[in-house]
Amino acid sequence: MKRRILSVRRNGRRRVFPGCALLCGAAAAWAGSSLLAPPAWPDAAGPSPPPTLATAMAGPLVLNPTPFKFALGQFGPIYGTGVLTGLGLAQTNPVLGDRTGRFDISNGQAIAQKIDGVLQFYAQAGIYALPALGTPYIRASTANSDFFGPLPEGYLKLAPTDKFAILGGKLPSLIGAEYTFTFENMNIERGLLWNQEPAISRGVQANYTAGPLTLSASFNDGFYSDRFNWLVGSAAWTINGSNTLTVVSGGNLGRSTTATIATPLPQNNGAILDLIYTYSAAPWTITPYFQFTHVPRIRSLDLYAPASTYGGAVLVNYAVTPRFNLAARAEIIAATGYGGNGAPNLLYGPGSYALSLTATPTWQIGRFFVRGEGSLVKAEDVTPGLAFGKSGNRTTQARFLIEAGFLF
């Protein structure tokens, strides 16, 4: 979600991540709308279909279709699911402080949710890693404190009708075409565009559905800054059963001085626009999208010149068989600005650009899955010291990952 040089203080020590500002990024633009409607309960004469859970899933992985169900009398049923996954990673040209290879837990999370009635809730708790292309890998054991804590998502939802709802708490961002956690997405790692986007924000959100149009608005703290000055709006048009078009935009209405791993100073004081199209008809899911970001000149924050990014991506999944899927992603992103006039670093130095290619075959049988991934990032016009390798002067990074686990 951010890709500039990031310098922050953690436990009293200053940490610098060359070539990136952080990896937090985005939940899909329709993430909020996926929390809108309660399930359509079946006719009394027919069998009960699986409940429509609020957990955002882009596929191809599928959560347990028969989750644990706990009856609480008049309060209604609560559904429980869980995720336990681990990964192995090997990479070329790791930045200073990162490693060539490692093993880690990628998710150890429990999810509880109430999805019907006027008062609903969602709680997702546990440990997680947030791997993203072109950024240093942060172990799950430290990701909780560096990012969103042991309860990364949790909110209350007031749904007086099936068309209108208000949510409050720690919410997945409306911005972007990729979700936050590995198990929610086509690929194990998030992409270059995701690095420019907020992933989870604290705030309130309103959703309204009118026929094929879903509107959402959120007032929140942007890149998890704990300063509530971001306004985000989304409009998703379901053209038909296979095609959806989403426009989402947001930005900082004021100024924020916070700078942490989860809160890159330039991006958190900027604005973003995404245009997302999704085609979904078996066996294909295809999502191309365009992204534009802008950071204005703010001399009081040492942002002495404006800078922007322009990016585009295509995410594709093909269901080869009911158990085997092949996903791929291609991206290009470019940053404007000139370091000599004080423009912020939004990528691999002002004026740099990067391309990425990712392929992820996935096999799932029942609750168990295993998937591999190969990716390549190529950066150009980099600022020396802000790219890959121990010195920050290498311009390519290849990664190979394997992730396996259970979706309870």
Q: Are 207 and 35 in contact (CB under 8 A)?
A: yes
Which has more pLDDT, 46 or 325?
325
The whole-number pLDDT of residue 47 equals 55
Task: Take residue 211 and report the two structure tokens written for it.
Answer: 């026929």
Reply yes or no on whether the pLDDT at 92 is more than 80. Answer: yes
The residue type at 303: L
Chain centroid to CA 150: how far? 17
Number of Cβ within a 10 Å radius of residue 89: 24
Give the tens place of pLDDT for each residue, 207-216: 999 999 999 9
In three-state secondary structure terms, 125 is strand
Pick the range with the lowest mean pLDDT from 38-52, 155-169, 221-235, 357-371. 38-52
Pick the range with the lowest mean pLDDT from 50-59, 292-301, 350-359, 392-401. 50-59
The whole-number pLDDT of residue 154 equals 98
Burial class (CB in 10 A: 0-12, 13-18, 19+), 108: middle
CA atoms within 13 A on the CB side of 345: 23
Kindly report whether the peptide bond that precedes residue 67 is cis, defined as omega within 30 degrees of 0. Answer: no
Q: How far is Cα 226 from Cα 219, in angstroms, rounded to an integer?
A: 12
Over range 19-32, report the average pLDDT.
37
3-state secondary structure 347-403: CCCCCCEEEEEEEEEEEEECCEEEEEEEEEEEEECCCCCCCECCCCCECEEEEEEEE
The whole-number pLDDT of residue 108 equals 98
Q: How far is Cα 200 from Cα 221, in angstroms, rounded to an integer?
A: 9
Q: Which H or E run contains 268?
A: helix 265-268
Whole-Å CA distances, 244 to 57, 72, 214, 241, 268: 16, 37, 11, 8, 28
The residue type at 46: G
What are 373's strand-pairing partners?
Answer: 401
State the chain's mean pLDDT as an integer.
89
pLDDT band at 49 (very low <50, low <70, confident <90, very high): confident
pLDDT band at 41 (very low <50, low <70, confident <90, very high): very low
For 284-297, give one letter per residue: b (16+ CB within 10 A) or e.
Answer: ebebbbebbbbbbe
Write down the residue that tokens 């436990």 correspond to: 11
Kindly tell me the sign of the dihedral angle through the C-alpha atoms of 84, 178, 29, 3: positive
Pick the range with the lowest mean pLDDT from 98-107, 210-219, 337-346. 337-346
Q: Kindly compute the dihedral angle of the four CA atoms of residues 55, 57, 62, 66, in this order, to the nearest 10 degrees.
A: 20
Over range 312-325, report the average pLDDT.
97
The whole-number pLDDT of residue 48 equals 62
Over range 370-378, report the average pLDDT.
98
Give the tens place of pLDDT for each residue, 319-338: 999 999 999 999 999 999 98
Reply yes or no on whether the pLDDT at 4 is more than 70. Answer: no
Give the tens place of pLDDT for each residue, 173-189: 999 999 999 999 999 99
Reply yes or no on whether the pLDDT at 3 is more than 50. Answer: no
Task: Take residue 47 and report the two structure tokens written for it.
Answer: 């069998």
Q: Which pTM does this prediction carry?
A: 0.87
Reply yes or no on whether the pLDDT at 18 is more than 60. Answer: no
Reply yes or no on whether the pLDDT at 6 is more than 50. Answer: no
The whole-number pLDDT of residue 340 equals 84
- Of 167, 54, 194, 91, give the one whose Cα is nearest residue 401: 91
Reply yes or no on whether the pLDDT at 28 is more than 50. Answer: no
Q: How far is Cα 282 from Cα 320, in angstroms, rounded to an integer?
A: 10
Q: How far is Cα 230 from Cα 253, in angstroms, rounded to an integer?
A: 6
